Amino acid sequence: MKRIPRFAVYGGSFDPVHRGHLAIADRLTELFELDEFIFVPAFHAPHKKRLEPTSAFDRYAMLCLATNTESNISVSKMEIEAPSRPYTRETLERLKELLPESRLFFVMGADSWRDIKTWRDWERVLTMTDHIIVTRPGYEIGTEHVTEDIRDRIVDARGSSKLPLPENDSPEKIYFTDIVNIDISATEIRPCSR
């Protein structure tokens, strides 16, 4: 059976994009044998409390400049050009329409995983696609905040450099990985860049 294409989608503010984001794209592309890694900058993440984010178009441009030499990494305008500001569920629905014959992985950091219950339709989001949760050094990742059904789908791949990848028709999983071991965050960088 021919393997269907694999796409990873990494949504977020990317305010600013940094080497940790780029390392995630590179390492996950390798580990999950992805055909394409897509950054999807949010217009403004509704669950983020920061009032004055950098312009969405400036963040899009920064991502394009940071990834322009990578052949299998792209940057999508789908959220910043949407007529209404979509939530993750709506973005994933749209991506599933655009990429119907593919395996879709949604990438998030450990901080987003910790706060997932603040997201609109969070349980639905976690069942729509495969997920890759990228941990950071010194950042404990828990599962007590999600339902047992969701916990049953978790594959703890921390410490692994090779994964048993999902078959075309296997149920969606949630992968925990520490393949990118960089302790950096946009929150720490932002004050230095202003």
185 in a domain, yes or no? yes
**Within a domain: 1:** no
pLDDT-above-90 percentage for the chain: 66
Q: Answer yes or no: is 32 within a domain.
A: yes
- Asked if residue 188 belongs to a domain, the reply is yes
**Tens-digit pLDDT profile for residues 22-58:** 999 999 999 999 999 999 998 866 555 555 778 989 9
Show the beta-strand stretches assigned E in 14-149.
36-41, 73-75, 103-109, 130-134
Q: Tell me if 135 is assigned to some domain.
A: yes
The answer to whether position 21 is within a domain reads: yes
User: What ranges make up the beta strands (E) of 13-102?
Assistant: 36-41, 73-75
pLDDT score for 84? 80
- In-domain check, residue 180: yes
Average pLDDT estimate for 169-186: 79
Element of type H or E holding 57: helix 56-67
Query: 113: domain CATH number?
Result: 3.40.50.620
Q: How many domains does the chain have?
A: 1
For residue 62, the model assigns a pLDDT of 95
Give CA–CA dist 96/20, Å, rounded.
27
Rg (C-alpha) for the chain, rounded Å, is 16
pLDDT in tens, 5-26: 999 999 998 999 999 999 999 9
Model confidence pLDDT, tens digit, residues 154-176: 999 988 888 877 877 888 999 99
Owning domain of residue 54: 6-193
Q: Is residue 31 part of a domain?
A: yes
